[in-house]
């Protein structure tokens, strides 16, 4: 099943976060989620009316929204048909795949306003483009067209805009239709293996891949296994992945603890 979340301005982090993290929204029947919007980004005029405390809460909720989108179990696709500046691009960076109209305008422009990307932009952009290029784009606050963004690898696809102004949305739906026929469990575990593997060294990443592969093999061999048993297997695999990501410090035995001399 494909589910589309259309973001209309003005949008609120709390409302959008509820849509992204809703338990039912992440159910096994949802195989792909597309996020579409014509012009997205934080409303700076609204922000000017906030107190310092309110700004802190707003940014925290916005960051939480981006993390919820990034952690969504099914693939997510961002479709950008207009402006995606600041928070709008940060939202797109939290998605797995990005599609932009050639006329779309993208950028992390916070430095031109005396601010810093605060909803994951400083972390996700370098992971997408590399450190040097991400620094250049953030330091300069440069705006890119959809065509330029595609040339840099910031978006997966750039398409010519149509008269209706929703060319990226339709391309995103077509991309989702390519994903939908594939085995949903394999796709979800592929996302886990890639996302988790990028956080660790390659040796640990290979272990994560092996854990995820074992799950897909089990589901393939035992498709009628009970849902409870599948959830227990997933929980066990999650435990081992977390154990790799957050290893406990080893306990070493010093020479003074030996009771016998080696032969």
Indicate which residue of 20, 94, 100, 110 is catalytic: 110
Mark whether 90 is an active-site residue: yes
| Residue matched to tokens 């179990």 | 73
Mark whether 42 is an active-site residue: yes
Indicate which residue of 37, 41, 82, 87 is catalytic: 87
Indicate which residue of 37, 74, 90, 197 is catalytic: 90
Mark whether 52 is an active-site residue: no
Indicate which residue of 20, 34, 42, 79 is catalytic: 42
User: Cα separation of 119 and 70, whole Å?
Assistant: 12
For 139, residues 6+ apart whose C-beta sits below 8 A from its C-beta are 111
Q: What is the SS3 assignment for the chain? A: CEEEEECCCCCCHHHHHHHHHCCHHHCCCCCEEEEEECCECCCHHHHHCCCHHHHHHHHHHHHHHHHHHHCCCCCEEEEECCEEECHHHHHHHCCCEEEEECCCEEECCHHHHCCCCCCCHHHHHHHHHCHHHHHHHHHHCCCEEHHHHHHHCCCCEEECCCCCCCHHHHHHHHHHHHHCCCCHHHHHHHHHHHHHHCCCCHHHHHHHHHHHHHHHHHHHHCCCCCHHHHHHHHHHHHHHHHHHHCCCCCCCCCHHHCCCCCC
User: Cα separation of 144 and 153, whole Å?
Assistant: 12
Mark whether 136 is an active-site residue: no
Active site residues: 42, 87, 90, 110
């Amino acid at each position: 099943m494909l589910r589309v979340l259309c973001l209309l301005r003005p949008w609120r982090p709390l409302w959008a976060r509820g849509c992204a993290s809703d338990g039912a929204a992440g159910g096994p029947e949802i195989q792909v989620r597309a996020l579409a919007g014509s012009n997205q980004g934080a409303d700076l005029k609204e922000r000017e009316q906030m107190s310092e405390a309110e700004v802190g809460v707003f940014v925290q909720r916005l960051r939480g929204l981006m993390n919820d989108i990034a952690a969504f179990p099914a693939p997510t696709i961002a479709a950008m048909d207009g402006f995606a500046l600041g928070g709008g691009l940060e939202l797109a960076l939290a998605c797995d795949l990005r599609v932009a109209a050639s006329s779309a305008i993208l950028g992390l422009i916070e430095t031109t306003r005396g601010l810093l990307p605060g909803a994951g932009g400083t972390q996700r952009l370098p992971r997408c483009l590399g450190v040097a290029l991400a620094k250049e784009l953030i330091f300069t606050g440069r705006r890119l067209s959809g065509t330029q963004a595609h040339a840099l690898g910031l978006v997966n696809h750039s398409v010519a805009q149509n008269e209706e102004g929703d060319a990226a949305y339709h391309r995103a739906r077509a991309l989702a239709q390519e994903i939908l026929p594939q085995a949903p469990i394999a796709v979800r575990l592929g996302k886990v293996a890639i996302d988790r593997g990028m956080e660790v060294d390659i040796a640990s990443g290979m272990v994560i891949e092996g854990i995820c592969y074992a799950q897909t093999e089990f589901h393939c061999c035992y498709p009628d296994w009970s849902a409870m048993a599948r959830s227990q297997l997933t929980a066990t695999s999650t435990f081992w992945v977390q154990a790799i990501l957050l290893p406990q410090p080893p306990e070493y035995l010093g020479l003074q603890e030996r009771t016998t001399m080696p032969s």
